[in-house]
């Protein structure tokens, strides 16, 4: 039998009489990683922690128990912390996170209109196969104004149905699947409404389980999801079912309402008052967030 001394494995020897020291362990850990680029953990930088798959924007870098940790906030507002260093991906490439640059560390937090952490100079992602459908153009414009930045980063396209009556046919033509989901936002989704029946039929389609989600808000029209105080109202006017709700609303407000261009101009005035999620009713906010999660969380 050949006798092997410690000299055959010089990398195993410790310079400390007591055995392994912190410096030796750190050196061994570092040697397990190939040389990768370093990246300052600047505020707002979106990165992925490899082991957990957690993706989020940097919100802080702090010392905890003698170790620097970076905290990452995902798009749903949840925060997790990880040791600063190796084990991260940036734009799909492995990086070693280093302490933030002083200027970036002192930068004031910024948010998108939806309340998510704003990501500076983030490129739009290539569109996913999944879609969010809304009933009309006004719905799509409102979603774009508040969630547009989030949707571009997520690669989600919002498309108007121009009426929900043939939702089942549209879904059948789209052919949804596990990587091709459909999230649908309907107006007036309340017990006994036409929209509730349409939603039920859609959710009962073959293959709908896990691939189709139909949600809605209680308002007859998405206009009413804008908080009325923005227009100096205590509440939106009640319009008889026999009258077009947009025409009736404009008439009640004393605005021009006789032509289609009057409706378009009235909507632009309403939409112009919306600056962020805080200007919308919670019953709409929650449904849109659920739909975004549904079409992105498993892809």
CA separation for the pair 7, 84 (Å, rounded): 34
Cβ–Cβ under 8 Å, residues 89 and 96: no
Phi, psi (5° rounding) for residue 61?
-130, 120
CB atoms closer than 10 angstroms to residue 93: 10
Residue 108 has pLDDT above 80, yes or no: no
Is a pLDDT exceeding 60 seen at residue 106? no
Residue 202 has pLDDT above 60, yes or no: yes
Q: Could you read off the pLDDT of 144-170 as tens digits, one per residue?
A: 999 998 898 888 999 999 888 999 999
Percent of the chain exceeding pLDDT 70 equals 81
pLDDT at residue 227, as a whole number: 95
**What does pTM read for this prediction?**
0.62
What the block records as the tokens of 182 is: 């459909």
Give the Cα separation of 136 and 161 in Å (integer): 6
Per the listing, tokens 């979106």 go with: 46
Distances (CA, A) of 36 to 31, 81, 96: 12, 21, 7
Residues 132 and 158: their CA atoms lie apart, in Å, by 5
Q: pLDDT tens digits for 43-88? A: 888 899 999 888 888 888 888 777 899 999 887 778 899 999 999 9
Nearest alpha-carbon partner for 142 in 295, 287, 293, 294: 287
Going 81 to 83 to 87 to 93, the CA torsion angle's sign is positive
Residues 284-289, mean pLDDT to the nearest whole number: 93
- Cβ-proximal residues to 83 (8 Å cutoff; 6+ apart), any chain: 67, 68, 69, 70
Q: Which domains does the chain have, with CATH numbers?
A: 33-105 (2.30.30), 116-225+279-299 (3.40.50), 227-273 (no CATH)
Report pLDDT for 95: 93
Instruction: Please list the residues that pair with 184 across neighbouring strands.
Output: 133, 214
Residue among 202, 259, 195 nearest 222 (CA): 195
**Average pLDDT of the residues in 239-264:** 94
């Amino acid at each position: 039998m050949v006798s092997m001394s410690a000299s055959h494995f010089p990398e195993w020897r410790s310079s400390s009489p007591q055995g392994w020291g912190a410096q030796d362990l750190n050196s061994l850990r570092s040697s397990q990683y190939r040389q990768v680029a370093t990246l300052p953990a600047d505020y707002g930088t979106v990165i992925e922690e490899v082991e957990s798959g957690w993706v989020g924007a940097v919100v802080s870098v702090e010392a905890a128990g003698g170790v620097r940790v970076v905290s990452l906030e995902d798009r749903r507002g949840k925060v997790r912390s990880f040791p600063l260093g190796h084990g991260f991906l940036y734009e799909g490439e492995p990086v070693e996170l280093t302490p933030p640059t002083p200027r970036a560390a002192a930068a004031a937090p910024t948010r998108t209109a939806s309340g998510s952490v704003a990501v500076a100079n983030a490129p739009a992602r290539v569109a996913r196969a999944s879609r969010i459908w809304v009933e009309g153009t006004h719905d799509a414009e409102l979603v774009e104004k508040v969630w547009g930045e989030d949707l571009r980063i997520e690669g989600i396209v919002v498309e108007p149905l121009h009426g929900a009556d043939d939702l089942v046919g549209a879904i059948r033509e789209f052919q949804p699947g596990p990587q091709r989901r459909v999230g649908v936002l309907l107006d007036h989704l309340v017990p006994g409404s036409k929209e509730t029946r349409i939603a039920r039929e859609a959710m009962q389609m073959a293959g709908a389980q896990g691939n189709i989600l139909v949600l809605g808000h209680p308002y007859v029209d998405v206009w009413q999801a804008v908080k009325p105080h923005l227009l100096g109202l205590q509440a939106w006017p009640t319009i008889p079912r026999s009258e077009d709700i947009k025409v009736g609303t404009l008439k009640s407000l004393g605005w021009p309402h006789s032509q289609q261009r009057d409706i378009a101009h009235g909507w632009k005035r309403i939409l112009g008052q919306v600056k962020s999620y805080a200007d919308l009713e919670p019953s709409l906010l929650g449904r849109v967030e659920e739909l975004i999660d549904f079409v992105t969380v498993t892809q």
